[in-house]
Each structure stands twice: as C-alpha cells, then as structure tokens.
Structure 1
Amino acid sequence: MANPVLFVIAHPDLGQSRANRHFAASAKSVEGIEVLDLYKTYPDMFVDGSHERHRIDDKSTLVLQFPIYWYAAPGLLKEWIDRTFSYGWAYGTNGNALKGKNFMLSIATGSEEKAYSADGQHNYPLQEFLLPYKQTAHFCGMNWLEPLVYYHARASEKEQLLAHGEKLKNRLTELKQLAPQQEMPHGA
C-alpha cells in the first residue's frame, strides 16, 4: 500500500487560511500520505464519486481536514461524502468498502475551546457538532478515531500553529502504521 492514508483538505480559500494551509503542508511533508485538496480538484463543485471511490479503495485511513463553518464542514466536503460514500459501496447491500477503515477528523475552529461548552458562546461541546461524522463512520463500519482539533485558529500564536502542525505530522505518521480495525495508542 503506497499511500495508506488519504488526507482530504476542504477549505474554499486555502490560500487565505493560515491554519488549514499550514496543516495541508504538514500532511504533504509526511511520506505515505496522499493529500487531496477538494476545492482545487473540484472547482466546479461536482465531485466524481466513482473516481473518489477508486482513490479510497487501497487506503486504510481517511483523514478529513476542515475549518468549522456554521457548525459543520464546508459544503464541498459534504458533497464529496454524499457522492463518494454511495449505497452498495459504503453501506447497504454489499456496501462494505469502508468497513474496518480508520476515520479521523482534523479540525480548525475560530473560537477558543471554552466557547464550546454549556456556558460558552456555542452552548455545546464541539464533539456534539461532530456527531454526524461519527455516525457516518459508524454506519459505514469505520473505526472512529479521536479528532485532532486546533482551537482559536485566527488568533493563535505562530508557535502554537507550528506545534499543532508537528502534532498533526506525528499523528499522520502513527496512522500510516495503523492497520484497519486497530485502536489508536493512548495519548495520540
């Protein structure tokens, strides 16, 4: 398996995103990681689901990198999932192509971590906004891995950004070694 990990970056203006641009570059620097920039690949917003299913077939792990926009991923990532995770392939009759694959989110938020709480600006923990992704993984028989979250992306210091980029690179390096249906090591 040449590239066991598919790192899907979904940002509509990656050139203007300090954090997501850095994380995409961090992923590209790890050997064995295939990086797919959705907005560059599909500028017309029409996803070729068949092509994407073939891209995923030989992968053991999918990582979705995106900013939180209005409590969800940017629209093209939703379109990618809708077109790619099709009936008969990802779920349903004979739909087991994703079964046992690892699934992880890598997210950047504009708000601080404390904003995602019952007392915070967003009223709920971030994990509650991620439930559709967790359920998608469960429904397709995928192994849900703990998300990697970078809070307060717009206001963070350069050192924090660089440290998180290193954390992402370390996690991706671990994921390359992780076979399907294995748990991530604690503290990863």
Structure 2
Amino acid sequence: MVNENQPSPIYVIAAHPNWRDSRVNRQLHTAATTTAGVSVCDLYETYPDYAIEIQAEQAKLEAAQLVVLMHPVQWYSMPALLKLWVDEVLSYGWAYGQGASALKGKDLWLVASTGGAESSHHPQGYNRYFFDAFLPPYEQTAALCGMRFLPPMVLHGAHSAPAALVAEHVSTFRERLQTYPHWPELDDLADCVACEVPEQDRPAGEH
C-alpha cells in the first residue's frame, strides 16, 4: 500500500515477495504504515507487473529527507523488484551524474533481516563473511547520489528469533521513525561523499 496523503519526510520502500511468510518484515511494515509522517510503498503490491511509475517514485523521493530500504536479504542482496526500482528510479541525470542533485543531502537507511544467525556471517560460518561485507553496493549507491548512508538496522536469524526479540526490534524501528532526525549518532556521521561521474563514462543517448 502507498500512503498518498501529504508529502512525507520519511519514505519507506518495503520489498517482500510474500508478506504472509514474514515474521519480521510484516510487523515492520505495519509499524511504518501506522507512524505519522511516514509514507510507505509496498513494492510487490503496488507494482505486481513490475511496471514502476518512475516519475511518481521520484516525486516521493524528492519530498522525503529519509529514504528507507526495508527488505529481507535474499542471496546476499535485495529482492528483485527492489533492484529494478533502484535501476529505474535512480536514473542518470536525476539521481546521479552531471548536474543531478535531486537526492543530495538526503539520508538512506537500510532496514534488513537475514534468515541465518549472526554467527553464520563470519569467516568460520557458512556465509564466510561478516555481514558488513555485503553492504558496499548500498553504501556506494548512496554516495553516488550524494546521500548519507546511515548505520543499518539488521535483525539476524529472522526465522528463529524469539518473539520477544522481534517485538523489541519492531519497537525500536518505530521509535527511530518517530524521532528522526534526532538520532545522537547522526552528529558523528561525515557529510555526503561527492562522487561525480564523468560524461564519457555514460553510453550515448542515456542523458
């Protein structure tokens, strides 16, 4: 569902292919949709045919100061429809590249869940890497668009986490939405990184 009342300072892009099978993201989705000042787009409900309304999405991003990517981690990355959203909505000349400034100075926050326990994201675990090793694509996407990448909020072991831990996680998420941008750690974050893309690095006709 997309909340389309007044422009919201927080825009949550929620991507879960099957909410009925979700223990964590379904509750996070409910928390976001019931928090004042938050606009939520359920990608798989809004665009079941994968035909994303690019201009509508860009307008919501322009109205927001905090953009939240909320999804379960699938194959060490984001669900397919969210990847398509990134490909199409964060376009050259609008989100990044020569003269692009639509997203500069905004914040990007990843709220994700993993099926495996935190211990599985370890050189001795079956995922072989600490979870931070899978974050550079998100961090660089933010940097290329002139956005700050905020410390991610991640719940590991979503399939088996105790109900009390899930409830605490959801409560913290709601509190963070309600108190943004007054998070103490934001004072210590560096400004947005400037990543200019030379025009010669873009194929002809993509301007």
- Higher RCO (CA 8 Å, separation ≥ 6 residues): 1
The separation in 2 between residues aligned to 1:79 and 1:66, in whole angstroms, is: 14
| Structure 1 unaligned regions, length at least 5 | none
Counterpart position of 1:54? 59
**3-state SS in 2 of match to 1:98:** coil
1:127 is displaced (CA, Å) by 1.3
Structure 1 position 24, deviation (Å): 0.4
Match of 1:11 among 9, 16, 28: 16
Aligned to 2:110: 105
TM-score by length of 1: 0.92
Alignment correspondent of 2:157: 152
Alignment RMSD: 1.8
2:50 maps to which of 29, 45, 48: 45
Gaps of 5+ in 2: 1-5, 189-207
Equivalent of 2:37, from 9, 32, 37? 32
Alignment-derived partner of residue 88 in structure 2: 83
User: Matched residues, percent identical?
Assistant: 36
Task: Give the drift of 1:184.
Answer: 2.1
Q: In the TM superposition, what whole-angstrom CA distance separates every residue of 1:95-117 from its partner, at most 9, and x where no partner exists?
A: 11111100000001001111111
Mapped to 2, the partners of 1:145 and 1:49 lie a distance apart of: 24
Work out whether 1:142 is the aligned partner of 2:147. yes
Whole-angstrom distance in 1 between the partners of 2:111 and 2:187? 17
CA shift, 1:29, in A, is 2.1
Aligned residues: 183
The one-character-per-residue Cα deviations of 1:33-73 (angstroms, maximum 9, x if unpaired) are 11110000000012121211011111001000000111011
User: 1:174: Cα distance to partner?
Assistant: 2.4
Residue 184 of structure 1 is aligned with which of 169, 181, 186? 186
